[in-house]
């Protein structure tokens, strides 16, 4: 295999050959900003996943480097994200207790399974499968997940013990434990949350008013979570608040990510296989959406199949370096892009920065209150909550609205795994439902032209003996019977009809089931002395039909255009 062929699977060989000083400057600057953002985020998302804080740092080092080698996006920042962290906790919460070795091993195994699934999908070029997850359903799932995540962190803001995997369970548990609220923790948690919300909306305008440039002000704003961490950690240490029941991070091991091994237990793999598949699909869809959006801004492109390989490698890296499942994060990727990242090398530099933090800075977060990490999570995930999707889908498509609403309710009421499973099923079911009822339009000739339009939308010329049906979708096993029934019903109620023309301009494929339906239509029409004709059949479709005996049995003709069909079968209308 030559270098060009190898570069398809190892993209760093392509962009690395032209790497220069200008790209280095932009990448280093972006890496500094992303590193500052990632430190508190990584710690917080590990807490959300039920893992020790260092797991978040570990999951942000090797995976970033591996994605930079194998991924195709020049701005995507890979690491722990809120939704995948929540799904990780849901997947392994019933298998092992948090804080145990079994829990950590299950997280490693989940990352390994997810990596293997993504890698296999990429090698088999199955990236198209993500298209079966509709955007409205994904938006509904992410909205519900954002609510669950924010609710799950309220216990850390209040300083109480509470549990639950669903919204009702969480609310009941929180209400039952309110009397145990630690008021000092509440002050810290509410203060940090309020500050972080203000940072997002108010700090940048303030900095611009005092003379900072918009770009520099934006960069300083991204460091807001770090300032919250520094201030609250110093307050707990200086005032000795840990002795008053404030929960703190405690000892975080110093050093680079350790070499770890996932479990190869068949029982554990069996339990984690479905959650790993769901995490892989959701993570891939979220990651590719972000990568494509950012690539389009610079007229670049990404390869979805290679993205599967890049994300697979990143997750395998997490499994062998003490992490847990990762994917491309929206917020940090946007920051990476806005900060000037030119190539995936920005991720490698960010990994170096996080490595320095893991070696030198972990003792400084001993007194970091978990309430601050919870505030970081709440502020980050509430931006994911988008109820406007309900209004938009209700206005545009009641079927889409039903799928979105069902996904949100099932996720909130029955948990993340049920919600995402329902989302996948609903996406596929919605696609099958829509494609099983293709749009069929009876068309007529627009006077003075050779164009044909829907008789219910335009004033057109028709002939009582001629029925022309335009089929606006390819024909396959799921929708062929619908066409069969439509033609049968239409002819049965309109006795003057002597010719039926199927206008095939929108048909790109006819599978064997649909071919049998066309044969059945042809036969039934023949028994009542009505001829079946085709018009505007595309070349590849005609090539396939010629391989069967359908054209020999066809009672009518195949016309090059619909106008030719009308001129032959109803000349008095065509010549009007």
**Per-residue confidence (pLDDT) for residue 522, from 0 to 100:** 94
pLDDT single digits (tens) 149-206: 889 889 989 988 888 888 998 999 999 888 888 999 999 999 999 988 888 787 778 8
Q: How many helices (H) and strands (E) does the chain have?
A: 28, 8
**What angle is formed at CA 266 by the lines to CA 264 and CA 267, rounded to 5 degrees?**
120
Specify the DSSP element, H or E, that contains 445: strand 440-445
**Per-residue confidence (pLDDT) for residue 3, from 0 to 100:** 57
> Which residues in 184-207 are b (16+ Cβ under 10 Å) and which e?
bbeebbebbbebbeebbeebbeeb
**What angle is formed at CA 454 by the lines to CA 449 and CA 460, rounded to 5 degrees?**
45
Q: What is the pTM of this model?
A: 0.79
User: Among candidates 142, 146, 193, which has minimal Cα distance to 374?
Assistant: 193
**Per-residue confidence (pLDDT) for residue 575, from 0 to 100:** 54
**Per-residue confidence (pLDDT) for residue 428, from 0 to 100:** 80
- C-alpha 86/C-alpha 321 separation (Å) is 20
**Per-residue confidence (pLDDT) for residue 1, from 0 to 100:** 53
User: What's the token pair of residue 524?
Assistant: 């039934």
- C-alpha 563/C-alpha 576 separation (Å) is 13
- C-alpha 470/C-alpha 565 separation (Å) is 13
Radius of gyration from C-alpha coordinates of the chain: 30
**Per-residue confidence (pLDDT) for residue 5, from 0 to 100:** 66
Task: Look up tokens 């997280």; give the residue.
Answer: 107
* Count of alpha carbons within 13 angstroms of residue 432, beta-carbon side: 8
**Per-residue confidence (pLDDT) for residue 64, from 0 to 100:** 93
- Residue numbers of the chain with a pLDDT score lower than 50: none
């Amino acid at each position: 295999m030559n270098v060009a062929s190898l570069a398809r699977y190892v993209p760093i060989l392509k962009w690395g050959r032209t790497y220069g000083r200008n790209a280095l400057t932009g990448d280093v600057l972006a890496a500094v900003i992303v590193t500052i953002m990632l430190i508190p985020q990584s710690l917080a998302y590990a807490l959300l996943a039920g893992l020790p804080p260092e797991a978040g740092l570990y999951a942000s080092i090797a995976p970033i480097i591996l994605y930079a080698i194998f991924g195709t996006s020049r701005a995507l920042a890979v690491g722990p994200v809120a939704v995948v962290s929540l799904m990780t906790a849901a997947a392994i919460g019933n298998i092992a207790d948090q804080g145990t070795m079994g829990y950590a091993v299950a997280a490693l195994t989940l990352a390994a399974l997810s990596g293997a699934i993504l890698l296999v999908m990429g090698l088999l070029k199955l990236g198209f499968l993500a298209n079966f997850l509709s955007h409205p359903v994904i938006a509904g799932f992410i909205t519900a997940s954002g609510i669950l995540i924010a609710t799950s962190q309220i216990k850390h803001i209040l300083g109480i013990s509470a549990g639950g995997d669903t919204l009702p369970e969480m609310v009941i548990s929180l209400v039952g434990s309110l009397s145990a609220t630690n008021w000092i923790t509440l002050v810290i948690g509410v203060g940090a949350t309020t500050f972080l919300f203000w940072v997002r909306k108010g700090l940048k305008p303030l900095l611009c008013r005092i003379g900072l440039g918009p770009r520099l002000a934006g960069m300083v704003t991204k460091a807001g979570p770090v300032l919250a961490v520094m201030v609250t950690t110093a307050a707990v240490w200086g005032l000795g608040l840990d002795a008053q029941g404030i929960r703190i991070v405690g000892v975080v091991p110093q050093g680079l990510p350790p070499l770890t091994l996932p479990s190869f237990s068949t029982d554990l793999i069996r339990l984690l296989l479905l959650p790993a598949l769901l995490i892989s699909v959701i993570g891939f869809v979220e990651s590719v959406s972000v990568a494509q959006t950012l690539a389009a801004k610079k007229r670049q492109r990404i390869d979805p199949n290679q993205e599967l390989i890049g994300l697979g490698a990143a997750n395998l890296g997490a499994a062998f370096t003490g992490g847990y499942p990762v994917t491309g994060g929206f917020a940090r990727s946007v920051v990476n892009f806005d900060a000037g990242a030119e190539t995936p090398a920005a991720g490698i530099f960010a990994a170096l920065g996080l490595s320095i933090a893991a070696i030198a800075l972990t003792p400084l977060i001993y007194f970091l209150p978990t309430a601050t990490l919870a505030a970081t999570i709440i502020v980050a995930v509430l931006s994911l909550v988008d109820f406007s999707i309900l209004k938009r889908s209700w206005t545009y498509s009641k079927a889409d609205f039903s799928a979105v609403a069902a996904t949100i309710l099932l996720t909130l009421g029955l948990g993340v795994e049920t919600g995402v499973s329902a989302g996948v099923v609903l996406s596929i079911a919605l696609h099958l439902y829509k494609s099983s009822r293709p749009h069929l339009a009876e068309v007529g000739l627009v006077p003075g032209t050779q164009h044909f339009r829907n008789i219910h939308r335009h004033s057109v010329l028709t002939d009582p003996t001629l029925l022309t049906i335009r089929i606006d979708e390819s024909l396959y096993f799921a929708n062929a019977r619908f066409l069969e029934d439509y033609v049968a019903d239409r002819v049965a109620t309109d006795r003057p009809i002597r010719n039926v023309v199927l206008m095939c301009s929108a048909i790109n494929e006819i599978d064997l089931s649909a071919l049998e339906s066309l044969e059945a239509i042809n036969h039934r029409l023949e028994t009542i002395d009505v001829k079946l004709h085709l018009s505007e059949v595309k070349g590849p479709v005609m090539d396939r039909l010629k391989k069967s005996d359908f054209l020999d049995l066809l009672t009518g003709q195949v016309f090059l255009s619909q106008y030719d069909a009308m001129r032959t079968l109803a000349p008095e209308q065509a010549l009007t």
